[in-house]
């Protein structure tokens, strides 16, 4: 898995540099899509079997797992490794702008879902896509 991950990141960056797309945008789209496709497929299969609630729960649960386990565990292992520093430095300019944009988008998503009657509709899908484009432009 580690080898495939390394190759996927390297090739994505290479393709982005070749066609002139910044690495950040490539990471937010191609790599994010690559990690979300298995969740998408499992959610579609479960939803087609009539378990729509389970599909939504799976999508939300996998993101919560990624944030609570997928991010901190590698950092903890990196800091516990004896030959490295105990600090993980994150090179991110304007991180506060990104944080406020994500919080604002969360509020807009909840508002959009509420306005659609808490149902997944094509209008809601279009709103979510538009919000994602706003996020990409901001990034």
Helix 95-115 vs helix 122-138: crossing angle, to nearest 10: 170
pTM: 0.57
pLDDT, tens digit, 9 for 90 and up, residues 68-121: 888 888 888 877 877 766 666 777 777 788 788 888 888 898 898 889 888 878
Return the structure tokens found at 131. Answer: 């919000």
Q: What CA–CA distance (Å, rounded) separates 56 from 65?
A: 14
Alpha helices, H only, the chain: 2-19, 23-26, 32-48, 52-65, 72-80, 95-115, 122-138
pLDDT, tens digit, 9 for 90 and up, residues 25-72: 888 788 777 777 888 888 889 888 988 888 878 777 887 888 888 888
Element (H, E) at 119: none
Question: How many CB atoms sit inside 10 A of residue 29's CB?
Answer: 16
């Amino acid at each position: 898995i580690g080898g495939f991950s390394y190759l996927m990141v390297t090739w994505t960056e290479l393709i982005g540099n070749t066609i002139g797309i910044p690495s950040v945008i490539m990471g937010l789209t191609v790599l994010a899509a690559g990690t979300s496709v298995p969740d998408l497929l499992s959610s579609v299969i479960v939803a087609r079997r009539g378990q729509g609630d389970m599909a939504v729960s799976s999508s939300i649960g996998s993101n919560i797992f990624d944030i609570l386990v997928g991010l901190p565990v590698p950092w903890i292992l990196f800091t516990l490794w004896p030959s490295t520093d105990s600090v993980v430095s994150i090179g991110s300019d304007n991180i506060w702008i990104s944080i406020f944009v994500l919080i604002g988008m969360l509020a807009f998503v909840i508002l959009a879902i509420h306005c659609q009657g808490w149902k997944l509709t094509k209008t809601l899908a279009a709103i979510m896509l538009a919000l994602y484009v706003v996020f990409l432009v901001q990034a």
